[in-house]
Amino acid sequence: VQADGTDGSCVTFVLRDEDHTLGNALRYMVMKNPDVEFCGYCITHPSESKINFRIQTRGTGMRASFPFRKGLNDLMGVCQHVLDTFE
């Protein structure tokens, strides 16, 4: 985790052994949060299996780790729903 500033509202998370599959889905889930001003990711190099995932909140005092965790939990819920429906 690499944080900019002192309040933790703008943070870059490094996710190892991940690619566009998680990055794009997680970005979509995090951007649904109205307190998130910016969310994006990039793959550093095609031969490296890691992504830099950046979140910036709107200055409401919310730390970027909260929408990151919520996005992960929401994405797990959606995946579980799809799996249950499929089965």
pLDDT tens string 42-75:
998 888 888 999 999 987 778 999 999 999 999 9
Q: Which domain holds residue 77?
A: 2-86
Closest CA to 36 of 7, 4, 60: 60
pLDDT at 87: 94
pLDDT value at 4 more than 70? no
Residue 40, token pair as written in the block: 């994006």
Number of domains in the chain: 1
Q: CATH no. for residue 59?
A: 3.30.1360.10
CB half-sphere exposure, 39, CA atoms < 13 A: 22
Main-chain dihedrals φ then ψ at residue 71, nearest 5 degrees:
-60, -45
pLDDT at 59: 76
Which residues contact residue 3 at a Cβ distance below 8 angstroms, ignoring those fewer than 6 apart?
10, 11, 12, 64
What's the angle, vertex CA 24, arms to CA 6 and CA 68, rounded to 5?
Answer: 30
Q: Given the structure tokens 């249950």, which residue do they identify?
A: 84
pLDDT tens string 13-33:
999 999 899 999 999 999 999
pLDDT at 2: 61
